[in-house]
């Protein structure tokens, strides 16, 4: 049985594993529903999915929440580095579209804009975890899926420190700019 570090990582894994193409998840995975597809055990949840069962340890979820690590502590064993980079790009595109459409009106969903920027930044952070200290790119072992390998073929710079760092700065900076702009008008 596969183990996710957090419920959020389990959702990302399901999105990536069911993706029809590299541009976006084909279907949104079902949200964990206690009693439906999520069962509680003595030490962990078990998430039943169309691709098998995932275990999410309570201690892992709790530790990640305590330090604000949305997708978990340590390096993912479910989602490879290239998959994280693609996920970051997907959330980044969604964030940009939502940001450009947002005008600060009370009926608009500001949280959706912010969450997409946050998820994009967090996903880049997950990809960066695969890079050894002082390495300029992720090692070959950081990509173990066909999806990830195809992403590298499409964008050979995908897992370079320079690109990932630039993406991280862009996502965080744009989020800060968005908040600063709309906090003034609140």
In whole angstroms, what is the distance from residue 9 CA to residue 40 CA? 17
Q: What is the pLDDT of residues 18-38, one digit of tens each?
A: 764 444 433 445 567 777 788
Q: What is the pLDDT of residues 124-155, one digit of tens each?
A: 999 999 999 999 999 999 999 999 999 999 99
How far CA 131 is from CA of 136, 139, 146, 161, in Å, comes to 8, 7, 19, 8
As given in the structure block, the two tokens for residue 43 are 């030490």
Q: Where are the domains of the chain?
A: 2-67, 81-184
pLDDT at site 106: 87
| 3-class secondary-structure state, position 97 | helix
DSSP secondary structure string for all residues of 18-30: T-SSSSS-SSPPP
Closest C-alpha among 13, 154, 165, 144 to residue 87: 13
pLDDT at site 31: 61
How far CA 182 is from CA of 99, 119, 120, 121, 126, in Å, comes to 11, 19, 20, 20, 28
* Average pLDDT across the chain, whole number: 90
pLDDT at site 48: 87
Q: What is the pLDDT of residues 73-132, one digit of tens each?
A: 999 999 999 999 999 999 999 999 999 999 999 888 899 899 999 999 999 999 999 999
pLDDT at site 41: 92
For the segment 13-19, the average pLDDT, to the nearest whole number, is: 82
Q: What percent of the chain has pLDDT over 90?
A: 75
How far CA 30 is from CA of 14, 37, 118, in Å, comes to 9, 8, 21
For the chain, give the longest Cα–Cα distance: 49
Whether the pLDDT of residue 186 is over 70: the answer is no
Considering the entire predicted model, what is its pTM? Answer: 0.89
């Amino acid at each position: 049985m596969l183990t996710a570090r957090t419920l959020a990582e389990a959702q990302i894994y399901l999105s990536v594993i069911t993706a029809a193409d590299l541009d976006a998840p084909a279907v949104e995975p079902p949200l964990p529903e206690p009693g439906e597809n999520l069962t509680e055990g003595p030490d962990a949840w078990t998430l039943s999915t169309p691709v098998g069962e995932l275990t999410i340890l309570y201690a892992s979820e709790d530790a990640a929440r305590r330090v604000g690590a949305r997708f978990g502590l340590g390096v993912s064993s479910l989602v490879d580095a290239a998959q994280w980079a693609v996920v970051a790009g997907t959330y980044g595109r969604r964030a940009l579209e939502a940001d450009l459409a947002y005008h600060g009106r009370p009926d608009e969903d500001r949280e959706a804009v912010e969450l997409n920027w946050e998820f994009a930044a967090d996903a880049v952070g997950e990809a960066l975890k695969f890079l050894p200290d002082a390495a300029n790119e992720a090692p070959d072992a950081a990509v173990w899926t066909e999806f990830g390998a195809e992403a590298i073929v499409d964008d050979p710079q995908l897992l370079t420190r320079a690109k990932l760092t630039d993406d991280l700065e862009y996502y965080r900076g744009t989020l800060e700019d968005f908040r600063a702009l709309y906090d003034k008008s609140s």
